[in-house]
Amino acid sequence: MVTKEELLELQDHLDRIITSYLSLFDTYQSLQAEISSGLSKGYLSIAQANFSSGRFRYGQDYYDDRMTALRGVDITQTEDELAATQGLKTEYAVKELKTEEEQEYEVRIKTSGLRRRFVPPPSDDEMINGVTNEKKDKDSDDDVDNDPPFPFVKNRDPIRWFGLLTPSALKVAQTEFVDTLPRLLSVCGLLREIDRQEQEVRRVRQQVRGMRKELGIVTEDPLPAEEILQSP
């Protein structure tokens, strides 16, 4: 038997879902405005660079077909309160893609010269045998000097395709486009979340209708969720 307290609790739950839904929609609109602004600034900067160059245009003629991606998309799925009934929540994030040479270079940078930084004090046995810190330092230096040379790492920044005297407007365009990428991924995640919460609103709304009918509560007014989901 359904009670009025259970109905009120379910209605409060519906209100919380609607509040979260509206908050997501507001964030979605804000991100869309930021994306539109960033892309507009990027293309405008490219136009400024082409105008200032005079002789040629910055475009595909300068592209290096050997280029590989510098960034990728990391997709993860997590659980939350709503996901218990609607599946996993999908999140998107930008990650840097590095070549084997770049990874090896970072490891060498972190480990190179570590033995120079700290030389422990000699133990009693070493003092007896005449082993001093100076000798240990020399041995450590010899080991470091015998390390293999650092690998050559080529700069893969595509802005270098356009020569050493790259216009500042072209660099601004690159910055705008790079900064827009995380916002695009956020919009992808928000769209999935908005759709998921919309389905949850409809499901809970049907439960509220059934509980009202069972309790004999008749009203011609639509539920708040109906007005929201039917709005243009």
In a domain, 63, yes or no: no
* CATH number of the domain residue 161 falls in: 1.10.287
Q: What is the distance between the alpha carbons of residues 176 and 170, in angstroms, rounded to a whole number? A: 10
In a domain, 138, yes or no: no
How many distinct structural domains can be found in the chain?
1
Greatest Cα pair distance, the chain, in angstroms, is 98
**pTM of this structure:** 0.64
In a domain, 40, yes or no: yes
- Give me the pLDDT at residue 147, please: 55
The pLDDT tens digits of the residues spanning 57-86 come to 887 777 777 777 888 888 887 766 544 445
In a domain, 140, yes or no: no
In a domain, 164, yes or no: yes
The pLDDT tens digits of the residues spanning 78-130 come to 766 544 445 566 777 888 877 777 777 777 777 765 544 444 555 555 544 55
Query: What range defines the domain where residue 91 resides?
Result: 4-58+69-112+147-230
Tokens of 63: 């592209």
Q: What is the distance between the alpha carbons of residues 7 and 141, in angstroms, rounded to a whole number? A: 76
Q: What is the distance between the alpha carbons of residues 145 and 133, in angstroms, rounded to a whole number? A: 18
Measured N-to-C along each axis, helices 4-53 and 168-215 cross at an angle, to the nearest 10 degrees, of 160
Q: What is the distance between the alpha carbons of residues 215 and 7, in angstroms, rounded to a whole number? A: 9
In a domain, 103, yes or no: yes
Q: Three-class SS of residue 161? A: helix
In a domain, 128, yes or no: no
Mean pLDDT of 19-33: 94
Q: Three-class SS of residue 93? A: strand
Q: How many CA atoms lie within 13 A of 119 on its CB side?
A: 14
In a domain, 184, yes or no: yes
